[in-house]
Amino acid sequence: MLTPPVSFFWFRRDLRLTDNAGLYHALKSGTLVIPVFIYDTDILEKLPDKQDRRVQFIQEAIKSLAENLEKLGSFLRLKQGKPLDIFTKLVQEKTITAVYANHDYEPYAQQRDAAVEEYLKTRGIPFYTFKDQVIFEKNEITKADREPYTVFTPYKKRWLNTINSFFVKAYPTEKYFHQFASINSVPLPTLTDLGFQHTDLVTPNIRVAEEIITHYHKTRDYPAQAGTSRLSVHLRFGTISIRQVVQLAQRLNATWLNELIWRDFYHMILFHFPRVVSQAFKPAYDHIPWENNEKYFAQWCTGTTGYPLVDAGMRELNATGFMHNRVRMVVASFLCKHLLIDWRWGEAYFATKLLDYDLAANNGGWQWAAGSGCDAGPYFRVFNPAAQLKKFDPGNLYVKKWVPEWESSNYNQPLIDHDFARKRAINTYKAALTDF
Ligand code: FAD
């Protein structure tokens, strides 16, 4: 049966209709566009907790997309399964001119997309993909010899020298909304249909107060204050455009822009060095003889280490799916250095809990904390959790919120002495790195 030709736009980490690079190109191409989202069972089946805030976040974003498409006389085609199987079926149902999507730099996504592209090619269907998730990708910012940067400061310098209004200009998708194919609305799958349960998700506001950004450089390190944007989950799932966010940063605050450049940097690192997913960026660090004490790890996970700032951070993470950046650095350093537990354990725990979990940024953050990362500090710099608490939570407001029993006799004794742990970490790292 011959159907009128259509193109597909495949939503993934770009769950919005406006300023969306791949969607813009699909709509502008001239064929009618069917928007599709696939609940990828390869990913969903691997999520250990069936009360996962991220699945609910996605489901809510999908609902909003579908409603907005309905207002345009279209709808979102929702599929559940393995992407390659889904496209195999779609090709049988429709005459497809092309499939459009945006780049995804994670190794799993790269393989998935390569398989889909290869299959579509056998059917004579092009798979067009675009940069959308970052400002600069892959080889756009490289050293003079075209090799990727592995140190942040020169990367950032080149990034800032390269950026201009072209790179942050919004894609005017709305000009072509009439190109969406008309589709009847259908009931959306519920969380239960997807095998998940409702959670206590609190979605951070997508409209960040300009005042927060204006004062960011002064407030960003204090977890008791609302001093950061909380946009990370929106950037992760693309409910906001990075171009829009960078424009705001350019206008309001260079320190905040710096953080967005770190985001580009870690995506670039993951793309060029996918081995970091399982290995230390600096190979010598894979020779550290981790103690990997399971009891200590459990205490770290549950926020019962007897170090108030560490415990507050872990409890905030467990209770909300968020942890302030300063505290992420402290808890990560504590796990790797004080407890000599492999950074991969901490990274994996964060991956199950963080609402904003992003492989590139999480891996980058953990390898930075462990010292093994591309641009990590020297191994002998060990965060002192008590000094960090004094400096960054001077009124103890953050700690008291999450560890109310602190300062009472009910609170745990520190599970390890700071001076002992610091010396042990330095000696262990030194021996492993010298021997290598
Ligand atoms: P803001 O301070 O307002 O920053 C704005 C945006 O910049 C963030 O939303 C984020 O997209 C980006 N950003 C900020 N800092 C970094 C950074 N160091 N690296 C990369 N991007 C950054 N961030 C994630 O988005 N996902 C993660 O899984 C993640 N895991 C981390 C693990 C560790 C051990 C550490 C130390 C950091 C991690 N970060 C991660 C980076 C950072 O902690 C969060 O991006 C930030 O706390 C999110 O809060 P915000 O949106 O208010 O950020």
CA distance 289 to 362: 22
Distances from the Cα of 41 to the Cα of 13, 35, 72, 82, 112, angstroms: 16, 19, 29, 6, 12
Give the other-Cβ count within 10 Å of 37's Cβ. 20
pLDDT tens profile 307-342: 999 999 999 999 999 999 999 999 999 999 999 999
Using the mean position of ligand 1's atoms as its centre, give its distance from the Cα of residue 58 in Å.
Answer: 19
Spatial contact of 133 and 41, defined as CB atoms under 8 Å apart = no
Helix, strand, coil shares of the chain, percent, nearest 5, are: 50, 10, 40
Give the other-Cβ count within 10 Å of 275's Cβ. 12
Which residue minimizes the CA distance to atom 13 of ligand 1? 259
pLDDT tens profile 40-57: 999 999 999 999 999 999
CA distance 86 to 403: 47
Using the mean position of ligand 1's atoms as its centre, give its distance from the Cα of residue 232 in Å.
Answer: 6
Which residue minimizes the CA distance to atom 3 of ligand 1? 229
Spatial contact of 388 and 397, defined as CB atoms under 8 Å apart = no
Which residues are within 8 A (CB) of 71 and not within 5 positions of it... i.e. 6 or more apart? none
pTM over 0.95, yes/no: yes
In the annotation, is 343 catalytic? yes
Mean pLDDT of the chain: 97
pLDDT tens profile 135-162: 999 999 999 999 999 999 999 999 999 9
pLDDT tens profile 344-388: 999 999 999 999 999 999 999 999 999 999 998 889 999 999 999
Spatial contact of 158 and 141, defined as CB atoms under 8 Å apart = yes
In the annotation, is 210 catalytic? no
pLDDT tens profile 115-128: 999 999 999 999 99
**Which atom of ligand 1 is closest in space to residue 359's alpha carbon?**
28
**Which atom of ligand 1 is closest in space to residue 236's alpha carbon?**
25
In the annotation, is 258 catalytic? no
If we measure between CA atoms, which residue out of 314, 316, 321 comes closest to residue 299? 314
pLDDT of 1 above 60: no
Residue of 325, 337, 354, 366 best suited for mutating to test ligand 1, as the one with most atoms within 8 Å of CB: 325
Dihedral sign for Cα atoms in the order 87, 93, 98, 100: negative
pLDDT of 435 above 90: no
Using the mean position of ligand 1's atoms as its centre, give its distance from the Cα of residue 394 in Å.
Answer: 23
CA distance 436 to 427: 14
Pocket of ligand 1 (CB under 6 A): 220, 228-232, 235-236, 259-260, 262-263, 266, 325, 328-329, 332, 350, 354, 356-358, 361-362, 364-366, 369
pLDDT of 34 above 90: yes
ipTM above 0.85, yes or no: yes
In the annotation, is 345 catalytic? no
pLDDT tens profile 234-283: 999 999 999 999 999 999 999 999 999 999 999 999 999 999 999 999 99
